[in-house]
Structure 1
Amino acid sequence: MYCRVAQSTISNLSQSFWHIFNHSAVMEPNVNEVLTVLARSYRLAVITNGFVSAQVPRMQAAGIEHFFEEVIVSEAIGFAKPSPKIFNHVLFRLDLTPAQVLYVGDSLAYDYVGAMQVKIDFCYYNRKNQILPQEAQPKFMISELLKLLELVN
């Protein structure tokens, strides 16, 4: 059986999906509580790979964008994690040294590698309790976001 779908139908479906994807968010448990507590005492920033048209609206849909002083999206600055350039860019924007920062991320390949290259302490958000490869030695590891509050207090 041969099915022929008009190109305009495919294009419309694709645009609809992209719009819905960019304006929706699935929240991690306790994210608002953790960000509320952290924002009282710390300057918060986001480093994310991807497109501005996706990442910023998703943060807005989640209602969390106001917690962050800087939101650095790889597309906007021309380099992505794990490049040290994106981490150095944020350090420059916030006028911070690596020693003043704790980077929390959920990717060993992108977050951990990038943070290690610029000597930023790293906390691995290991939500799936995966066994780490021997070469990965994050300074901290949490499996729940609430545990982050215990680390910083």
Structure 2
Amino acid sequence: MDALIAHAISKHIYAPRLPALLQQMGIDDLELCRRAQERYRHNDYSHLRLYDGAEAMLQRLRPTHRLGLITNGPVFTQRPKIEQFRLARMMDVLVISEEVGIAKPHPRIFQLTLRHLGVAPARALYVGDSLRYDLMGAMAAGVDFVWMNPHCLPLPADMPQPRAAIQHLEEILPIIERIGGAGSYLTSTIPGAGYRGSQRQGSDHRE
């Protein structure tokens, strides 16, 4: 039974969909469904780590900049990660795709975040590590994008050019200064994909 639960979880299906998945496997046991959902909801995120320097950078920017976070995924998986890294205390706005009914790369989730921050797109900067979700979404919303690229991957030919590509988060500070200087209303957004764990995902990697 535990092997079946583990198999269901390995498919990265949201907990509300697990009963349907188990039924497709020919399993109608309600208790099994309940256990599968509970096990999914209590996933261990202890292997996840923020990018090196993330907390120090946010603490440095917080006194003079508006900070926001956008992450794709269900609330029951994203909230525990936010709490684990104590990100809420460092952010002015937190946006989880399930809560707002929009997900990256749709530009509306960026526009919504900026509206709550009180920041115009031209005064915003988005930092992310997903080209498909972060770069494409930010640029569609008219927001400057910095690519967090710790492994020095080449930019695909079909992708637009970001403002910059960085390997370490502290590299973002001089970029922010060049764009707007201290006191400007910029939002540096560290998405769910900004988590670094033993396995890199695509948003936790629903991006």
Q: TM-score range by the shorter chain?
A: 0.7 to 0.9
- 1:109 matched to 2:146? The reply is no
Deviation of the 1:40 alpha carbon = 2.0
- 1:86 matched to 2:109? The reply is yes
Counterpart in the other structure of 2:142:
119
**Number of paired residues?**
151
Q: 1:34 to 1:13 in 2, by over 3 A?
A: same
Q: Unaligned regions of 5+ residues in structure 2, if any?
A: 6-26, 178-207
Counterpart in the other structure of 2:176:
152
Out of 138, 141, 153, which is 2:162 matched to? Answer: 138
Q: 1:118 to 1:10 in 2, by over 3 A?
A: closer
User: What is the alpha-carbon distance in structure 1 between the residues aligned to residue 133 and residue 41 of structure 2?
Assistant: 24
Q: 1:96 to 1:11 in 2, by over 3 A?
A: same
Deviation of the 1:116 alpha carbon = 0.9
Contact conserved, 1:24 with 1:62, CA < 8 A, in 2?
A: no
Contact conserved, 2:41 with 2:76, CA < 8 A, in 1?
A: no
Out of 89, 92, 95, which is 1:66 matched to? Answer: 89
- Any idea what the Cα deviations from partners look like across 1:83-133, whole Å, max 9, x if unmatched? 011111112212221111001111000010011111110000012211111
Contact conserved, 2:128 with 2:148, CA < 8 A, in 1?
A: yes
More helix by share: 1
User: What is the alpha-carbon distance in structure 2 between the residues aligned to residue 9 and residue 111 of structure 1?
Assistant: 37
**Is the partner of 1:104 in helix, strand or coil?**
strand
The one-letter code matched in structure 2 to 1:78 is G
Q: Unaligned regions of 5+ residues in structure 1, if any?
A: none
What TM-score, normalized to structure 1?
A: 0.86
Deviation of the 1:134 alpha carbon = 2.0
User: What is the alpha-carbon distance in structure 2 between the residues aligned to residue 10 and residue 152 of structure 1?
Assistant: 49
The one-letter code matched in structure 2 to 1:60 is E
**Is the partner of 2:153 in helix, strand or coil?**
coil
Deviation of the 1:26 alpha carbon = 2.0
Identity within the alignment, %: 31
**Is the partner of 1:103 in helix, strand or coil?**
strand
